[in-house]
Amino acid sequence: MKCARALLSAFLFVSGCGTPAQERFFTLASDPPSQASFDAANPKYVIVVGPVTVPDVVDRPQLVLRTSPSRVEIAEQARWAAPLKNEIARVVADHLARLLDGARTATSAERASGTPDYRVLIDVQRFESAPQEGATVQAAWTVRMQDGSALSGRSLVTEPAGAGYDALVAAHSRALIAVSRDIAAGIATARGQKP
């Protein structure tokens, strides 16, 4: 009887040590600007996006899911492929290059030297993922011009999302397109162009 219990215990222990759940890695989606959208050798102006700040609760490798107004869950197996603040800067820079004719864009991580014509600072105040509901991005942004003047704005965007992490990440990507449009309109206004 003792031998049977020992074998059963060993079996249960070994079966409990099965293959761990596989981690999945996500990136925010954007289409990089086409070569035709600007003359790379002679851009009309340069925009640097960053730094970007995000709330501490989402400043981690894992996706953070809002399950109620006062509760979040950490999705241990669903992770960002790069730090979220870097992902946001990259996506906004890509969209600004597509939205603004003649602009060359970079993130502050890519371009540390030189003075750009415009620097975009983004303070993400909400980056919420509600499973099967949607993604919300609320950001305060400032465009600093080379002459020291600045233009500020706010964006609040909620995009619906279906089930699963892929749907939530895609909803955040769509929300950042809307934030980028707001910033692009601000830069166009500063340049005296029609937004």
Q: What is the pLDDT of residue 14?
A: 47
More confident call, 75 vs 17 = 75
Residue 136 has pLDDT above 90, yes or no: yes
- How does DSSP assign 86-146, residue by residue? HHHHHHHHHHHHHHSTTEEEEETTT--SS--SEEEEEEEEEEEEETTTEEEEEEEEEEEET
Quick one: pLDDT band at residue 24, thresholds 50, 70, 90?
very high
Q: What is the pLDDT of residue 77?
A: 95
Q: What is the pLDDT of residue 190?
A: 86
Q: What is the pLDDT of residue 21?
A: 75
Q: What is the pLDDT of residue 169?
A: 97
Token duo for residue 163: 């089930």
The architecture that CATH gives domain 42-190 is 3-Layer(aba) Sandwich (3.40)
Q: Considering the entire predicted model, what is its pTM?
A: 0.84
Residue 105 has pLDDT above 90, yes or no: yes
